[in-house]
Structure 1
């Protein structure tokens, strides 16, 4: 059986550790919001998903650079296909419909975001990583506060009016 040559341990260098370490930390950060709100996919799930996506990306890039001879049809971008399919399976398991209400859709999408952030970390696309995490934090924290302050009371008021016959 033909295998690629082993990668010596001394090749684990600072850029690889940085990519994987940042992915793990950002995954934990992304999962913090879900954990604080008591959702099913929290710190550990987001951390592992983000780290795993980064690890797959680093491995795919390294294998591509190691094995590509110009005569093969290797495509390192297939990492997106595999990651998307895997996270889709996890997300589908999280989403629950109960009494006509859909639950955990934000958590499922958040896991997808953690995967994409992990891929970007693994590829060393630092500006993209920073923008993605900043937008995610804004959307999950600031918009959540705005929703609690303005949207939920408005929905509650509308429900009360409907219960009272519109008066």
Structure 2
């Protein structure tokens, strides 16, 4: 039996999926993995815990008393953890501040405007300023973050870093 500090938690989502799906096949489909992987992870979990979590027959899988207790204790905790992680990810993916873009008039009106609107819907806390014009801008002095230019440059005015 493994001590709590050495315990691998990776088998718990598989355990919960098996309980909720009711079969190894359905749990594997739900998780996008093989039935063999589900079976192996459950066997390893039972070995680490030193208890039988499921009674298995050829037709059904049934929770034992120990399995039921583990499910009722772990399921809400895992749900809360997944919610916290999803919240952290969505918070970090939410852009905010200002983004200044410059592009030639035709390109800004014909192509970029729709993309900028769609992008701003994804990031409502981000203020986007789209400047259109055919003149070459000093990006640093004008605070421009992104510039689209079409055609050949007469003189090299940018450096590609790769």
Give the TM-score band, short-chain normalised. Answer: under 0.3
Tell which structure's C-alpha radius of gyration is larger.
2
Choose between structure 1 and 2 for higher RCO, CA contacts under 8 A separated by at least 6 residues: 1
- TM-score norm. by structure 1 comes to 0.25
